[in-house]
Amino acid sequence: MDYGFLGNFERFELMAFFSGYALIYLLLNGLWRNDFSLKFSKARLLSYSYALTGTLFIGYVVRKIFINLDAGTQVHFYHPILYLFGILAGLFWIPVFSKRTSLALLHSLVFFALIPLDIISYARGSVEREQVGNDMNVLSISIIFNVSTAILMFIFLWLSQKKRNRPENG
């Protein structure tokens, strides 16, 4: 279904937040062996970095709504189900969800799947070449964004571990 410029822009917003996580997940699971002297696991790092991504997305959506309300314009979402699904990423702060990193991977695969769908649509001739090129650009941005959130969570978890392990001086 073609939503025009604004609909495509919303798809790119969603993809920018979530589509790169699947690749980061696979990369960290392939590279990170638990050989480090860190007390936290890569599962905790991955879940919390995805939760941070979800929280930033929630903040983005709230900001978007308030900007439209301030301007006196109607808030319209072309992909409301995908937006609601994206907001669910905030649930990964809850320990029940954060312990199961495969759920975060499955959540992000919904957004990652938009890219192969566009490639298939391009092969059928229903999508322009620029659409696929834009998808690749947005995927690159998403990878950088998700690496950044993983680095932020790594630093936060490392600092909190250092603080817990520091002896208390009277």
Q: How confident is the model at residue 33 (pLDDT cuts 50, 70, 90)?
A: low
Residue with tokens 């920018």: 16
105 with 69: CB under 8 angstroms?
A: no
> Considering only 23-27, 41-45, 159-163, which range has the smallest mean pLDDT?
41-45
Integer Cα distance of 38 and 6 in angstroms: 44
Relative orientation angle of helices 101-112 and 4-18, to the nearest 10 degrees: 150
Q: How confident is the model at residue 7 (pLDDT cuts 50, 70, 90)?
A: confident
Average pLDDT over residues 35-56: 81
Digit-coded pLDDT (tens) for 55-103: 999 999 999 998 888 888 888 888 999 999 999 999 999 999 988 888 9
pTM of the model: 0.85
Share of the chain above pLDDT 70, in %: 91
Q: b/e per residue, 18-46, with b = 16+ CB within 10 A?
A: bbbbbbbbeebeeeeeeeeeeeeebbbbb
Please tell me which of 3-12, 56-65, 156-165 the model is most confident about, judged by mean pLDDT: 56-65
Integer Cα distance of 58 and 37 in angstroms: 34
Sequence-distant (≥ 6) Cβ neighbours of residue 108 within 8 angstroms = 18, 19, 21, 22, 25, 50
Query: What pLDDT is recorded for position 36?
Result: 53
Whether the predicted pLDDT of 34 surpasses 60:
no
Quote the mean pLDDT of the chain. Answer: 87
Q: How confident is the model at residue 170 (pLDDT cuts 50, 70, 90)?
A: very low
CA torsion, ordered 109, 152, 16, 34, to nearest 10 deg: -30
Whether the predicted pLDDT of 40 surpasses 70:
no
Integer Cα distance of 163 and 73 in angstroms: 47
